[in-house]
Structure 1
Amino acid sequence: MMAHKVFISYDHSEDAHYKYLLQAWSNHPRFVFEFDNRSVQTAINSEDASRVKAGISSKMKDATHLFVIVGKLSHESDWMNWEIARAKELGLKIAAVKIEKSNISPTGLLNIKTSWATSFTQARVIEALDNAVVGYE
């Protein structure tokens, strides 16, 4: 089976440690993770946002999947909402995991065929990525 090229969308202020766990798992032959840290200090409506969006889009165009880490504040993140919308435009498969069951999903993940990992474990993340499909209009 070919490796999934996965762009990770997460709240940089709250959930970076989950990104580091994924990086530790990235030597697994089934997937390659792509991260973009340029949006960390840039407001989505700032003058630099178009440059950041272009860089993120470039990485996303090379990906097969978007994997969304849904933390406590994810639903409030303009960047995460933009990344989900961009993934849909590019026809990426979308998978996600809620860190806590009570976390609110970003609206872009709702009413589409998001492949949900039932927990943040390597086995469940792989399963969600393997089961992800393009399922939105």
Structure 2
Amino acid sequence: MAKEYKIFISHSWQYSDTLEALRNLLNARGYFSATYEESTKDNPINSKNESYVKQRLAKKIGDSDIILALAGVYASHSSWMAWELDKALELGTPIVGVIPHGQQRISSIVSSRSVVDVRWNTESIITAIRAHSK
């Protein structure tokens, strides 16, 4: 049986359409199986307690095989994305930067923490996941 990857996608909630597009891209491949660990607008951690939210996110990040970080320039303005990526480094969860379709520039918040940055291409993303997952 093929491995099912546990993926945490670090993203900006203001650009959740890019998150959905990435999930759809990966899910469209019949030979690739993944579950997703991140919190989303549709499935948030319902708490205003920042410490609790960070605790829950840290567990999700630590339990993941890999972090996919959406590397659009908007990531440079997200303190939560920076925190998630720093937590991933601390916990030893590899980070792959995914450059959103059509983006020319990428966030240094992502590129300075990732093991590799890949373009918006299904095969490139899946190859990076397989090569760098725990």
Under TM normalisation by the shorter chain, which class is it?
0.7 to 0.9
Q: 1:75 to 1:113 in 2, by over 3 A?
A: closer
Q: Name the one with the larger helix percent.
A: 2
Cα distance, 1:66 vs structure 2:
0.8
Counterparts of 2:98 and 2:60 in 1: how far apart (Å)? 21
For 1:86, give the aligned amino acid.
K
For 1:80, give the aligned amino acid.
M
Counterparts of 2:39 and 2:89 in 1: how far apart (Å)? 18
2:54 aligned residue:
53
Per-residue CA distance 1:5-46 (angstroms, 9 max, x = gap) = 111101111x2112112332336434332221237x98xxxx
Q: Which moved more, 1:74-83 or 1:16-25?
A: 16-25
Matches within 5 A, 1:61-100: 61-99=62-100, 100=103
Cα distance, 1:133 vs structure 2:
6.3
Counterparts of 1:121 and 1:19 in 2: how far apart (Å)? 14
1:32 aligned residue:
35
Counterparts of 1:22 and 1:104 in 2: how far apart (Å)? 17
Tell whether the 8 Å contact from 1:11 to 1:73 is kept in structure 2 after alignment. yes
2:105 aligned residue:
102
Q: 1:61 to 1:127 in 2, by over 3 A?
A: same
Please provide the CA RMSD for this pair: 2.5
Counterparts of 1:20 and 1:133 in 2: how far apart (Å)? 21
Give the TM-score normalised by the residue count of structure 2.
0.77
Counterparts of 1:103 and 1:116 in 2: how far apart (Å)? 9
Cα distance, 1:113 vs structure 2:
5.6
- Structure 2: gaps (5+ residues): none
Cα distance, 1:65 vs structure 2:
0.6
Tell whether the 8 Å contact from 1:6 to 1:63 is kept in structure 2 after alignment. yes
2:124 aligned residue:
124
Give the match's secondary structure for 2:35: strand
Give the match's secondary structure for 1:73: helix
Give the TM-score normalised by the residue count of structure 1.
0.76
For 1:115, give the aligned amino acid.
V
For 2:17, give the aligned amino acid.
H
Q: Which moved more, 1:125-134 or 1:57-66?
A: 125-134
Give the match's secondary structure for 1:86: helix
